[in-house]
Amino acid sequence: MKINRRKFLENSSALLSASALAAAPGAAGQPQKPGRKYRLVATEEAFATQEQANFFRNAKVSIWNDPDVDLWRHFLGSEVLLRRLLDVDHERLSIMDQAGVDMHVLSLTSPGVQCFDADAGTALATLANDQLAETIKRHPTRYAGLASFAPQDPARAAKEIDRAINKLKLNGLIVNSSTNNEYLDNPKFRPIFEAITATGAALYIHPRNLPEPAAEILKADVNLWSAIWGFQVETGIHAMRLILSGVFDDFPKLKVVLGHMGEGLPYWLYRIDWMYVNAPAGIYKSLSGRRLKRKPSEYVQDNFYITTSGMNTHSVLQYCHSVLGPDNIMFAIDYPYQESVEAAQFMQTAPLPEQDVEKMAHANAEKVFRIATA
C-alpha cells in the first residue's frame, strides 16, 4: 500500500510529540496543524482588482439604485472586506495557514465584469485574467484561478476563454449568473459554450443579484436580496434554464459548477423530474420546442458539480452525497465573506467515508480544475 504524507504523519504521530507534529511541514510548506486530516483545496474564493474597486468608488450616486452597485457600496464601506478582497500576498495566506487550507481557487468577486458595457467588461476581464495568472505564478502551490469573461460580447468572450485556458493556463471559468437580464441559455451565447467545451474547462456559475424588478421585490421590507436568499434563487434559475432549454443535449460534455450545495437543485430533484414528466405536454420546453433527451435530474447528476461554499452543515452534505455521489462535490469556503476556520473544520470532520471526503476536500477539484496534486 502506498503511504502518502498524511498516512505517514498518522502512523508516526505516536512517535512525535504534539509540538513536533505541529512543526512538520505541510503539503505546500505551511505548518501542518494537529488534527488536520485532509488536504484542502477551496474552490469559490473571491478576489477583487483595484480597477474593479475604482469603478465602484467613482460611480455616480445616480446609479446607486443598481443592486450590484448597492452590494459594492457595502464592500467599499467595509475596510476589512475590501482589504481582504484586494490582497493575495499577505493576510489571505496567513488566514489559509491558520485554517489549514492548502489552496484557494480564486475568482473575481461578483458581479465580476458583467455590470459594465461590452468594451469595458471585455477589457477588465482580460486585465483581471492577466493579474490572476501573475498571482498564481507568484504562489503556484497556494493558488489556482477561474477566468472571467464578458458575455456582453459573446464573440470576444469566446476568444478570451480560449486565451485564458490555453495561453494563461487558468484552471476554469466563472460567470456571475445573468448579464443584462439575459441567461446563458439564450442562443446568442452559443459561441461561449462552443469555446468552453473546446477547452474542456468547467464553468462555475456564481451568484449575483437578480435583475430588476425581481431585485426590488427581494429588497422590499425584509432585504432578501444578496446572499441570504436572492443569490441562490438567481443562480438556481440560471441552472434550471440551462437544463430545460436543452443546453446539455447540445453540449453533453459541458461541466457546470454550482456553489452553495447546488443552489437548491439537489433538494428539488424529485419534484423537477415529476413535473417535467407528468405536466401537460408543451408546458415545459426549450426555446426550440424540443423535449429533453433525459430527465432533468440526470443532467444534474452528470453535468454538474456542486461546492460546499457557505453551507457548513453536515446533514446537508450527507444528503447531497447521497443523491450526487462522492465525485461531484467540492470543498469551498466563500472567502472573504464567510469563515475559513469553520469551513475547514466542517470538511475535516465530515461524517462520510474517508475516501469520499478525500475526493470532496481536494481530489475532485484537482481533477475538475486541472490542479497539480500535492
Catalytic residue among 68, 102, 153, 334: 334
For Mn ion, the nearest residue by Cβ is 334
CB of 70 to Mn ion, least distance (A): 17
* Smaller CB separation from Mn ion, 47 or 276: 47
CB of 275 to Mn ion, least distance (A): 29
Pick the stretch among 40-48, 140-148, 250-258, 296-304 that binds Mn ion (CB under 5 A): 40-48
Does residue 102 touch Mn ion according to CB under 5 A? no
Contact 144, 173 (CB under 8 A): no
Contact 350, 357 (CB under 8 A): yes
* Smaller CB separation from Mn ion, 36 or 92: 92
Residue 42: which of 253, 303, 327, 333 has the closest Cα?
333
**Size, binding site for Mn ion by CB under 5 A:** 2
For the chain, helix, strand, coil in percent to 5 are: 50, 10, 40
Q: Which residues, including other chains, have CB under 8 Å from residue 268's CB and lie 6 or more apart?
A: none
Does residue 45 touch Mn ion according to CB under 5 A? no
Three-state secondary structure call for residue 320: helix
Pick the stretch among 165-173, 196-204, 273-281, 327-335 that binds Mn ion (CB under 5 A): 327-335
CB of 338 to Mn ion, least distance (A): 8
CB of 323 to Mn ion, least distance (A): 23
CB of 209 to Mn ion, least distance (A): 13
* Smaller CB separation from Mn ion, 44 or 366: 44
Distances (CA, A) of 99 to 6, 126, 158, 230, 328: 17, 32, 37, 29, 24
Contact 148, 128 (CB under 8 A): yes
Pick the stretch among 32-40, 42-50, 140-148, 218-226 that binds Mn ion (CB under 5 A): 42-50
Sheet of strand 103-108, all strands in order from the earlier edge strand to the far edge: 41-47, 103-108, 143-147, 172-175, 203-205, 256-258, 304-307, 329-330
Other C-beta atoms closer than 10 Å to the C-beta of 98 total 14
Cell 457546470 -> residue: 256
Q: Catalytic: 334?
A: yes
Exposure of 341 in the CB half-sphere (CA atoms within 13 A): 4
Does residue 334 touch Mn ion according to CB under 5 A? yes
* Smaller CB separation from Mn ion, 166 or 313: 313
* Smaller CB separation from Mn ion, 96 or 292: 96
CB of 286 to Mn ion, least distance (A): 29
Other C-beta atoms closer than 10 Å to the C-beta of 336 total 24
* Smaller CB separation from Mn ion, 104 or 156: 104
Pick the stretch among 98-106, 117-125, 153-161, 330-338 that binds Mn ion (CB under 5 A): 330-338
Contact 209, 176 (CB under 8 A): no
Q: Which residues are annotated as catalytic?
A: 334
- Contacting positions for Mn ion (CB under 5 A): 44, 334
